[in-house]
Amino acid sequence: MNFFRITPFLLAFSFFSLQGFSQASIEPKLDVSFAKRTYTTASVEGKEAIEIDGHLNDPAWNAVEWTSNYVEFEPDNSTPPSQQTMMKIAYDDKNLYVAFRCYEPDPENIVRRMGRRDDFPGDWVELNIDSYNDDRTAFSFTISASGVKGDEFVSNNGNFDPSWNPIWYLKTNIDNQGWTAEVKIPLSQLRFGNEEEQVWGIQSTRRYFNNEERSTWQPVPANPTGWVSSFGELKGLKGLKPQKQLEIQPYTVGRYNSYEEEKGNPFRDGRDGNLTAGLDAKIGITNDLTVDLTINPDFGQVDADPGAVSLDGFEIFFEERRPFFVENKSVFNYNFTGSQDNLFFSRRIGRTPQGSAYSPNTAYVDQPNNTTILGAAKFSGKTEDGWTVGVLESVTAREYAEVVTADGTETERLVEPLTNYVVGRVQKDFNDKNSYLGGIITAVNRNMEDEVSFLHTRAYSGGLDFKHSWKDRKYYLMGSGVMSRVEGSEEAILSTQNSIVHLFQRVDAEHVETDASRNSLTGTGGRLEFGKGGGDWQYQVGGNWLSPELEINDIGFLRQADNIKQYLNVRRQFNKPTSWFRKAVLGLNQSTAFDFEGNYNRTQYEVVGFINYKNNWWSEGGAAHKPRIFVNTFLRGGPRWRYNEENYFFIFSGSDQRKKLATKFGWVHSEGKQNSFSLDRFEAGLKYQPLNSLSLSLELEYATNPSKTQYVAERSFNNSARYILGAIDQETLSATLRLNYNINPDLTIQYYGQPYIFKADYSNLNYVVDATAEDIDQRVRWYDEPQVSFANNTYLIDENRDNVTDYSVSNPDFAFVQYRSNLVARWEYIPGSEIYLVWSQGINGMGDVNDNFSGIVDSQLLRQKPQNTFLIKATYRFLL
**Domain presence at residue 83:** yes
Distance in angstroms (rounded) separating the CA atoms of residues 751 and 731: 27
Rg of the chain over Cα atoms, rounded to whole angstroms, equals: 30
Looking at residues 125-131, what average pLDDT do you find?
A: 97
Residues 274-280: what's their mean pLDDT? 90
Say yes or no to pLDDT of 226 above 50: yes
- Per-residue model confidence (pLDDT) at position 301: 63
Shared domain check, 328 and 228: no
CATH number, domain of 230, equals 2.60.40.1190
In this prediction, residue 13 carries a pLDDT of: 41
What is the per-residue pLDDT across 551-601, written as a single tens digit (0 to 9) for each? 999 999 999 999 999 999 999 999 999 999 999 999 999 999 999 999 999
**pLDDT above 50: residue 201:** yes
pLDDT of residue 456: 97
SS3 of 227-239: CHHHCEEEEEEEC
Domain assignment present for residue 347? The answer is: yes
Q: Which of 535, 561, 587 is the last residue of a domain?
A: 561
Query: Are 445 and 330 in a shared domain?
Result: yes
Say what the pTM is: 0.89
φ, ψ for residue 110, nearest 5 deg? -75, 125
320 and 226 in one domain?
no
Chain segment 485-496, per-residue pLDDT in tens: 999 999 999 999
Q: What is the mean pLDDT of residues 597-613?
A: 97
The pLDDT of residue 303 is 67
Asked if the structure places residue 209 within a domain, the reply is yes
Are residues 231 and 340 part of one domain? no
pLDDT of 781 above 90: yes
Q: Which stretch of 7-21, 228-242, 627-641 has the lowest confidence by average pLDDT?
A: 7-21
Q: How far is residue 850 CA from its own chain's centroid?
A: 35
The number of folded domains in the chain is 2
Q: Is residue 349 part of a domain?
A: yes
Q: How much is the average pLDDT of 796-819?
A: 94
Specify whether 317 is located in the same domain as 218: no
In this model, does residue 160 exceed pLDDT 80? Answer: yes
pLDDT for 20 equals: 42
Residue 270 pLDDT class (50, 70, 90 cuts): confident
Statement: residue 237 has pLDDT above 60: yes
Mean pLDDT to the nearest integer, 195-218 = 96
Which pLDDT belongs to residue 447? 95
Check residues 242 and 505 and name the one with the higher pLDDT: 505
Q: Which residues of 558-580 are buried (b: 16+ CB within 10 A; e: fewer)?
A: bbbbbbbbebebebbbbbbbbee
- Residue 9's pLDDT is 39
For the ranges 88-97, 295-304, 811-820, the lowest mean pLDDT is seen at: 295-304
DSSP assignment letter at 317: P
Is 108 domain-assigned? yes
Chain segment 416-475, per-residue pLDDT in tens = 999 999 999 999 999 988 999 999 999 999 999 888 999 999 999 999 999 999 998 899
Amino acid identity for residue 218 in this structure:
Q
Asked, for residue 90, whether it belongs to a domain, the answer is yes
In a domain, 706, yes or no: no
Is the pLDDT score of 550 beyond 50? yes
* Residue percentage of the chain with pLDDT more than 70: 96
**369 and 228 in a common domain:** no
- Kindly report the average pLDDT of the chain as a whole number: 91
pLDDT at 18: 43
| Arithmetic mean of pLDDT, 296-302 | 73
pLDDT single digits (tens) 3-18:
333 343 343 444 344 4
Confidence at residue 701, expressed as pLDDT on a 0 to 100 scale: 97
Give the lowest-confidence range in 8-22, 137-151, 278-292: 8-22
For residue 30, pLDDT over 50 is answered with: no
Distance CA 843, CA 864 (A): 8
Residue 26 has pLDDT above 90, yes or no: no
434 with 541, same domain: the answer is: yes
**Could you report the per-residue pLDDT of 368-395, keeping only the tens digit for each?**
888 999 999 999 888 878 889 999 999 9
Find which of 9-18, 185-194, 323-332, 671-680 is predicted with most confidence, using mean pLDDT. 671-680
The confidence score (pLDDT) of residue 33 equals 64
Instruction: Decide which of 405 and 460 is more confident.
Output: 460
Q: Which of 511, 546, 561 is the last residue of a domain?
A: 561
Measured at the alpha carbon of residue 41, what is the angle toward residues 39 and 43, in degrees to the nearest 5? Answer: 175
Lowest-pLDDT range, 688-692, 770-774, 865-869? 865-869
Residue 856 scores a pLDDT above 50: yes
Domain with 338 in it:
313-561
Same domain for 233 and 319?
Answer: no
Domain boundary (561, 577, 612) is at 561
Looking at the fold, whether 182 and 79 belong to one and the same domain comes out as yes
Instruction: State whether 233 and 355 are in the same domain.
Output: no
On whether the CB atoms of residues 791 and 802 are closer than 8 A, the answer is: no
Q: Are residues 218 and 339 in the same domain?
A: no
Distances (CA, A) of 425 to 330, 422, 499, 529, 729: 10, 10, 29, 21, 47
Q: Is residue 26 part of a domain?
A: no
* pLDDT tops 90 at residue 195: no
Is 111 strand, coil or helix? coil
| Cβ-proximal residues to 203 (8 Å cutoff; 6+ apart), any chain | 127, 128, 138, 216, 217, 218, 220, 227, 230, 231, 232
Domain shared by 434 and 552, yes or no = yes
Least confident of 552-566, 619-633, 735-749, 841-855: 841-855
pLDDT (0 to 100) of residue 302: 67
